[in-house]
Structure 1
Amino acid sequence: MAESFLFDIANSLLGKLASYVYDEASQAFGVYKDLQRIKDTLSIVKGLLLDAEYKKDKQHGVSEWLRQIQNICLDAEDVLDGFEFQHKRKQVVEASGSTRVKVRHFFSSSNPLAFRFSMAHQIKKIRDRLDKVAADGTKFRLAKIDDAPELLRRELTHSYVDASSVIGRENDREEIIKRLMQPHPQSDCGDGGKSLCVIPIVGMGGLGKTSLAKLVFNDRRMNQLFQMKIWVCVSEDFDIKQILIQIINSALVSTVPSASALTNVLSHQENITNLNIEQLQSRLRNKLHGQKFLLVLDDVWNDDRAKWIELEDLIKSGSAESKIIVTTRSSSVGSMMGTVRLYVLEGLSIENCLSLFVRWALKEGDEIKYPNLVEIGKEIVKKCQGVPLAVKTLGSSLFSKLDLDKWILVRDSEIWNLKHRKDDILSALKLSYDQMPSYLRQCFSYFSLYPKDFTFNSFEIIILWVALGLVQFQTGGEKVENVAREYIDELNSRSFLQDFEDYGFYCKFKVHDLVHELALYVAKEDFAVIGTQTQSIFDHARHLSIVDDNSCGRVLFPKSRSVRTILFPMEGVGLADETLLYSLVSRYKYLRYLDLSDSSFEFLPNSIAKLEHLRVLDLSGNCKIKYLPHSIWKLQNLQVLALGGCTELETLPKRLGKMISLRQLIITSKQSDLSENEFASLNHLRILGFHYCQNLKYLFKYNQLQSLETLFVISCGILELPLYMFPNLQTLYISDCNNLHLSAYSRKSVQTLKMKYLHLEGFPELSTLPDWIASAKDTLETLIIVNCPNLKKFPKWLINMSHLKRLYISECRLLSRIVLPGHMFYLTALENLHIDGCPDLYRQYQPQCGVHWYEIAHIKSVYIGEPRGEEE
């Protein structure tokens, strides 16, 4: 793992050492002094980590020293988690009201005296290792520093561009110029003044935002439209004084009418760098006063709104018709600064990429001489997925190299294995990565465990992050899953994600191939993706991903016993070898995340109960397993148990209620009823799902699940759903439950619901939405209705949904209207409207020409899909 994570790993370990649980347990088990010594030594080492990070590429041995520290910290975390497990066992025993005999029986597999001896031995070993490595660090002469070393910086940009060298951006240029020519609505900026028009151009590094801004800046029409043009490269440091100096100097140059006059001005120009901020702001305001200017702020990273408002106030002295273009990799920065909608820059077409590649890889005319190279070039540019800087990087690496083998090597190599040059695509992406906070960098590296073009579901990746302790707990009691979702939104804002679909309580997305290669690069030796082409993996790998069935039988698993993650990310790829399963469970006792989805073994070993650190056990999609071992209830750390799609599973394990850490439980079972008392003990259960429970009729009759926030019910034939049993329910997802009568509930019976998300799918008899949904008018944010072929209209109360942001309607072919004509405007919060497979709605709301299009044209995101199949 990249050493930049180590500071956070050390911090996390120190936090655990300082907690009450560890303090109490360490004294009880006689290891208090050893733990204090580890804490003291680690505190000293932590202060040297930033200096070591800075020197690791310059001083031999520092990288290995950092790796040793990291391994010790992670091993110490494994050992110390044993305290937490013992603490939870104690809670279970006390809650059970057992006699002393039962308590002894409970601990028969882990006698307290044996635990004490083992813990003392392991902690002493950790202490000695840390002392030795800390002593070794003295030879590197590391210093304690509080600030991170200076990051790789992008070169400052200038405004000139040869328009003929920019390919495929003509339409983008015209769209930005169109926005510049439109009058600004003079929106209120919140302080009684009026804001300037700010047009944000947003996209990932290397996509060509700066080139597009240059095309616009140098267009002849801009000279006629504006009296003054100003170009400022902001880059990482949003220094107000330096920005003012750049604006003043750029404004001076842009007003000069000729080259000779320019020389004269520059020769007499005073050195304004010596002026203080007061003098600069006065000079700036005089310079801009009354001028209609175009200001480009290129490469903005600042997300501090106060700094932006300060700068904006200083440049308001210009004409109100002035315009500002901002280029940024962050949509949140663009939204903060922008006064019009973001212009999200897309990638180039394959044809444009090939034209650009040929220009950088071959001399003029060589494309005719070497058609075989051009054919290889077509395959190379596919790797770039529309990113022009990647095309230039690969093209320039091949310039003047006409050897076919070298072109094939580039085609078949990962881009991060190619030679690294300043200001190429590798630098651009690495800069974006380096600018992330460290907690995001850690989470980002786990994308490396998944194949390219993988469609991520936020549920799955959040479970992984939480299980591995990557999500920082916030003050104020915000749930850890909500914090993780904020991480995803931040990664999306920083242009690391693509094809992002937000459904409210969850989202789907992909990562660009180049971003995936960046994840592989930063993950390094701690992560291993095992496939048919894998020859070997590092012995100290802690996170394993198996991407094809043929890999399972190969002896490629690391000798180290510190593996934390085993993942089968590909649909249909699982584990069928029970011998290998037994081996993995017995060898890797520190597993946190065990994904055995789509596997086909019949028995789960009893030894699964020895995985005391396990947070996630995913058995979904196993169509052979019939029983779970009774010992599974001993997994007191387990947070997620996924049994969805285990269609042969006879019953749930007994003593389920003793799994006190469960937060998510997905069930497929043949049983007809549930043990209500067991569920009543699951005080932390937030997500509950029932998939293909064909015999299950009742969920609960008496006990409310106060903690439950999300309920999935999918393909459950005769199930009755007592919604009043879930007073804090926020998400309800019901699909393909033909015998479930939604209209059976009254508003009164469900008036306590606080739903934010409702998904109803596969109700052939439904003609209108049930009235009880109206009880969520003050909370519902997402409403999804799918495959209700007899649904004819929505109730009048829909317009009262004051918080509704997303409305998705699909395959409701008889639906004639959403609301009465002219009433869509009542849905003031609506941001996303998606209609598909609805012929009447398509005719009414068809973009530009539908009779009611004007009612929805203001909505931020609208998709009206053309009906498919039968003729209208």
Structure 2
Amino acid sequence: MAESLLFSFAELLIGKLATAAVQEASLAFGVHSELQQMKATMALIKGVLLDVENSQSNALREWLEQVKRVFYDAEDIVDDFECEALRKHVVNTYGSFSRKVRRFFSKNNPVVYRLRMAHHIQDINTRLARLAADRNMFGLQIIDHDTRVVHVREMTHSHVNPSDVTGREHDKNKIVNLLVQDGDCQSLSVISIVGMGGLGKTTLAKLVFNDTKIDECFQLKMWVCVSNDFELRNVLIKILNSAPNSTPKNFKNFETEKLQNLLRKKLEGKKFLLMLDDVWNEDPARWHELKEIIDVGVKGSKVLVTTRNHAVAVIMRTKSSNLYLLGCLSEKDSLSLFVKFAFDDGEEKKHPELLEIGKEIMEKCDGLPLAVKTVGSSLFSRYDKKEWESIRDSEIWNLKQNEEGILPALKLSYDQLPSYLKPCFASFSLYPKDVAIHCSHISSMWEALGFLPPPEENESMMDVANHLLHELWSRSFLSDYLDLGSDSSFRLHDLVHDLATYIAKGEFERIYLHNENISENARHLTIMEKNLVAQAFLHTGLRSVSLPEGMNNEALLIKLVSRCKYLRFLNLCSTEFKSLPYSIGKLKHLRYLNLQYSVKLRRLPDSVCELQNLQTLILLGFVKLQELPKGIRNLISLRSLVITTKQVDFPDKDIAVLTSLENLYICNCDNLESLFNGIELSTLKKLSLSECENLKSVPFHAIRNLKILVISECPKLELSMGVGSQIPDSRLNLVILKGLTQLVTLPQWIQGSANSLQSLLIIGCINLKELSDWLTILIYLKVLVISKCPNLLSVPDNMDKLTNLEKLDMTGCPELWKRFEPGVGQDWHKISHIKHVYNFDEKENEKKEYKKEDEEKKRGRKRRRRR
């Protein structure tokens, strides 16, 4: 663990020791003074952790490793108190009604438990005292708090537009010219943009891809993000899904032969441009396999490639190919970009001394756009000359470089993060590259690992996570950040991901091919391939484990569950286990259990309901699940529940008593006809109903406190929700209506959220004919997406009343776009006040309309280590 992460963890743990729940438990068990001693010694040790960051001493590193181990053991004790309190609560609430509950939850002898915990605390205090004394050997100074916090910058936009790109017009024009030249060659030609990470290859490719000359030249354009996954079948699926006018399909069960036939038919007779972004494949055979399929003999068809690796460009050459070496920004363009991020408009003129220092800093950035942007953002609103000189002269620039060469610049921004954000940032390393990450997922992980502070009144845990993500975005760590009110999504630039991996080394580990020096003390493991499981160290202190897709070694799962009793996070997504060990109920610290798409599981052991600490349970795609396990009402900590089941009768009463439940997702439950009969879910903040073909009714009274409502492909659902008009004082921030053939006009109850609704997304509602005139009362609306609604011909008059509306997306509404196309449409004046009016092509629509979570998971599978 990097020293800054250990400092952050110490702060979190000391804060937990001070909570009312732990104080009450320590008094009840007679260990209050011992815990106070533990807290004081931890605070002393924490005070010196910031003084060790640049040390190369092996002895000091070993001391830090010992500190890390004892801190984790202390956290286990603190969390054990919380588990015991929850256990007692369950027994007191349900024990008198059920012998089974008493058997599940009444296993601890109070006297024995008290003695055992007192012994553990005494052991930890002895170890802490020894470590506190040993610190004197290293001459460490106490630093009371982290002073490197920078101000949060409010960025003006979240998407890169052509006007926001600096210094790439010349490059764009050159590549466009290469693409539109047919020449005499009949074979497919490839243009490769090659350069080191951080140069903006993908940004340049986007400028090219959306140029009007390209639209005029090619009948068909397709954009595919490849990364390490160049397995033929997966690439074919991505290309098919990216083709315009194609409905994304689940090709999982299609044979490669059928996929290649479909693609050749799609390409036949069309001059096409295929964009392959971020290619790493160095195996010529794999490229030639793909080339043979897509080369259908149409003159002028092109493949545009971005890659960091010259070898990739060489193996993808054809007779008429070109290799375009992308260079760094000029000094002038670098400074121009730096000024955009380091100063408010025109502010640099007031600080000529800082601008001169900025020029020297730009020399260190060496024309790399990402480095310029991140360093500029870190200096925004800071006008102390000494601070600028400190960054210019910082030893961070002297760190050993990896091949990208800009980690020092990025790490400089990381070092200035508040300590509470550092473990959140490091956890990004557990995700694969090139995927969209949604707040709804990462908030569950952060909460399970104890990274989130407690919410304020009327605030959900996802709201807390959104605040942290917004802060990371404001510091330029997140790309394609989209704020939808109570939810958000984002991506990580490759180099930002590399930085997270660099920071997290030894604490968060992803095990993939060619791994070296995997830490035996890592607390968080993601195993990428079945045949790599042997490389994992399943030590007892593991906090989180993600097993690879297709994993079916039940003996290993039993070993994992029995050895790793302190697990907080267990991800078994897309595994092929036929059963779960009954002993899973002994993982009393477990807070997150993901069984998504574990299609061979028919049932869950009832012992799952012993997990009273469980906060997230994901059973999406659990197509063989006959019913939920008995006793689900005992999961009193559950905040997020995702269900796919064959049940006819939904367990309304069991769900109703889950007083912590905030997020409920009901998916592919084709036997359900009604929900929430006679109950009210007062704590629920998000409800998603997806692909429930026979669902007919959901009473709105049961969900009146919602902030997010998603209804997708439920063709029989009565959308009025039993409400004739608006519901006053409803609190919806985000509404998504998708694939609803019964939707002709907007449900009137949306009006009740006039004072809260920030995002309204209407996608694939082919029979929608009008947007009600009352739409203009939604004065807080920021994002309006109307996608694939071909029968919608107009928007209400007085759209100018929506003064907060920043984004209007009309993708897939051709007639509507004709009337409202910026600058030329006859009704453009009605919406000309809106900052961003879009009409994405199909691929951009897929990427930008926040509906590709499952597809984007596939992008991260079977990846080699980035070299």
Q: What TM-score does the superposition give when structure 1 sets the normalisation length?
A: 0.68
For residue 525 of structure 2, what is the aligned residue in structure 1? 544
For residue 765 of structure 2, what is the aligned residue in structure 1? 788
For residue 25 of structure 1, what is the aligned residue in structure 2? 25
The CA distance in 1 between the partners of 2:106 and 2:340, in whole Å, is 71
Q: CA deviation at 1:826?
A: 2.0
The CA distance in 1 between the partners of 2:170 and 2:560, in whole Å, is 53
Q: CA deviation at 1:563?
A: 0.6
The CA distance in 2 between the partners of 1:617 and 1:104, in whole Å, is 24
Q: Secondary structure at the match of 1:445?
A: helix
Task: Give the conservation status (yes or no) of the 8 Å contact 2:620–2:644.
Answer: yes
- Counterpart of 1:838 (choices 813, 816, 827) is 813
Task: Give the conservation status (yes or no) of the 8 Å contact 2:741–2:766.
Answer: yes
Q: CA deviation at 1:803?
A: 1.4
Correspondence 1:115 to 2:113: yes
In structure 2, relative to structure 1, the CA distance for the partners of 1:684 and 1:521 (3 Å cut) is: same
In structure 2, relative to structure 1, the CA distance for the partners of 1:14 and 1:760 (3 Å cut) is: same
For residue 578 of structure 1, what is the aligned residue in structure 2? 554
The CA distance in 2 between the partners of 1:480 and 1:51, in whole Å, is 33
Q: Which amino acid aligns with 1:789?
A: I
Correspondence 1:48 to 2:48: yes
Correspondence 1:489 to 2:470: yes
- In structure 2, stretches of 5+ residues that fail to align are 151-164, 173-202, 204-326, 362-371, 383-396, 844-867
For residue 13 of structure 2, what is the aligned residue in structure 1? 13
- Counterpart of 1:862 (choices 831, 837, 851) is 837
- Identity in percent: 39
Correspondence 1:431 to 2:431: no
Q: CA deviation at 1:802?
A: 1.3
For residue 66 of structure 1, what is the aligned residue in structure 2? 64
The CA distance in 2 between the partners of 1:640 and 1:612, in whole Å, is 14
Q: CA deviation at 1:650?
A: 0.7
In structure 2, relative to structure 1, the CA distance for the partners of 1:147 and 1:697 (3 Å cut) is: closer
For residue 524 of structure 1, what is the aligned residue in structure 2? 505
Q: Which amino acid aligns with 2:709?
A: L
- Counterpart of 1:451 (choices 428, 432, 442) is 432
In structure 2, relative to structure 1, the CA distance for the partners of 1:841 and 1:102 (3 Å cut) is: closer
The CA distance in 2 between the partners of 1:739 and 1:476, in whole Å, is 37
Q: Secondary structure at the match of 1:746?
A: coil
Q: Secondary structure at the match of 1:836?
A: coil
Correspondence 1:596 to 2:572: yes
Task: Give the conservation status (yes or no) of the 8 Å contact 1:745–1:772.
Answer: no
In structure 2, relative to structure 1, the CA distance for the partners of 1:49 and 1:533 (3 Å cut) is: closer
Correspondence 1:634 to 2:610: yes
Q: Secondary structure at the match of 1:48?
A: helix
Q: CA deviation at 1:216?
A: 9.9
Task: Give the conservation status (yes or no) of the 8 Å contact 1:697–1:718.
Answer: yes
Correspondence 1:662 to 2:638: yes
Correspondence 1:418 to 2:402: yes
The CA distance in 2 between the partners of 1:115 and 1:216, in whole Å, is 61
Task: Give the conservation status (yes or no) of the 8 Å contact 1:768–1:794.
Answer: yes
The CA distance in 2 between the partners of 1:537 and 1:214, in whole Å, is 40
Task: Give the conservation status (yes or no) of the 8 Å contact 1:614–1:638.
Answer: yes
Q: 1:267-310 deviations in whole A, cap 9, x for unaligned? A: xxxxxxxxxxxxxxxxxxxxxxxxxxxx8995999xxxxxxxxx
Q: Secondary structure at the match of 2:505?
A: helix
Q: Which amino acid aligns with 2:518?
A: I
Task: Give the conservation status (yes or no) of the 8 Å contact 1:757–1:780.
Answer: yes
The CA distance in 1 between the partners of 2:360 and 2:145, in whole Å, is 22
For residue 738 of structure 1, what is the aligned residue in structure 2? 715
Q: 1:160-200 deviations in whole A, cap 9, x for unaligned? A: xxxxxxx98174999xxxxxxxxxxxxxxxxxxxxxxxxxx
Q: CA deviation at 1:334?
A: 10
Correspondence 1:4 to 2:7: no
Task: Give the conservation status (yes or no) of the 8 Å contact 2:527–2:546.
Answer: yes
Correspondence 1:814 to 2:791: yes
Q: What TM-score does the superposition give when structure 2 sets the normalisation length?
A: 0.69
- Counterpart of 1:141 (choices 139, 142, 147) is 139
Q: Which amino acid aligns with 1:40?
A: A
Q: Secondary structure at the match of 1:529?
A: strand
Task: Give the conservation status (yes or no) of the 8 Å contact 1:594–1:616.
Answer: yes
Q: CA deviation at 1:694?
A: 0.7
Q: Secondary structure at the match of 2:447?
A: helix
Task: Give the conservation status (yes or no) of the 8 Å contact 1:51–1:149.
Answer: no
1:197-216 pair list within 5 angstroms: 211-212=332-333, 214=335
For residue 729 of structure 1, what is the aligned residue in structure 2? 706
Q: CA deviation at 1:619?
A: 0.8
The CA distance in 1 between the partners of 2:48 and 2:10, in whole Å, is 11
- Counterpart of 2:488 (choices 492, 507, 518) is 507
Q: How many residues align?
A: 649
Correspondence 1:770 to 2:768: no
Over the aligned positions, Cα root-mean-square deviation in angstroms equals: 3.8
For residue 409 of structure 1, what is the aligned residue in structure 2? none
For residue 465 of structure 1, what is the aligned residue in structure 2? 446
Q: CA deviation at 1:106?
A: 4.6
Q: CA deviation at 1:653?
A: 1.4
Q: CA deviation at 1:687?
A: 0.6
Q: CA deviation at 1:441?
A: 1.7
- Name whichever of 496-505 and 645-654 sits farther off: 496-505
Q: 1:410-461 deviations in whole A, cap 9, x for unaligned? A: xxxxx976389xxx62321111111111122211111111222222122212
Q: Secondary structure at the match of 1:15?
A: helix
For residue 391 of structure 2, what is the aligned residue in structure 1? none
In structure 2, relative to structure 1, the CA distance for the partners of 1:749 and 1:451 (3 Å cut) is: closer
- Counterpart of 1:565 (choices 521, 544, 548) is 544
Task: Give the conservation status (yes or no) of the 8 Å contact 1:8–1:438.
Answer: yes
1:468-479 pair list within 5 angstroms: 468-473=449-454, 478-479=459-460
In structure 2, relative to structure 1, the CA distance for the partners of 1:826 and 1:101 (3 Å cut) is: closer
Task: Give the conservation status (yes or no) of the 8 Å contact 1:574–1:596.
Answer: no
For residue 733 of structure 2, what is the aligned residue in structure 1? 756
In structure 2, relative to structure 1, the CA distance for the partners of 1:333 and 1:527 (3 Å cut) is: closer
The CA distance in 1 between the partners of 2:356 and 2:829, in whole Å, is 34
The CA distance in 2 between the partners of 1:774 and 1:232, in whole Å, is 40
In structure 2, relative to structure 1, the CA distance for the partners of 1:77 and 1:172 (3 Å cut) is: farther
- Counterpart of 2:692 (choices 710, 716, 725) is 716
The CA distance in 2 between the partners of 1:656 and 1:443, in whole Å, is 30
Q: CA deviation at 1:565?
A: 0.9
Task: Give the conservation status (yes or no) of the 8 Å contact 2:708–2:734.
Answer: yes
Q: CA deviation at 1:811?
A: 1.0
In structure 2, relative to structure 1, the CA distance for the partners of 1:72 and 1:8 (3 Å cut) is: same
Q: CA deviation at 1:209?
A: 9.8
Q: CA deviation at 1:769?
A: 2.0
For residue 615 of structure 1, what is the aligned residue in structure 2? 591
The CA distance in 2 between the partners of 1:138 and 1:216, in whole Å, is 47
- Counterpart of 2:801 (choices 810, 822, 826) is 826
For residue 226 of structure 1, what is the aligned residue in structure 2? none
- In structure 1, stretches of 5+ residues that fail to align are 153-166, 175-202, 218-230, 251-294, 302-326, 338-395, 398-414
- Counterpart of 1:95 (choices 93, 97, 101) is 93
The CA distance in 1 between the partners of 2:824 and 2:419, in whole Å, is 49
RCO comparison, higher one (Cα < 8 Å, 6+): 2
Q: Secondary structure at the match of 2:52?
A: helix
Larger radius of gyration: 1
Q: CA deviation at 1:51?
A: 2.6
For residue 556 of structure 1, what is the aligned residue in structure 2? 535
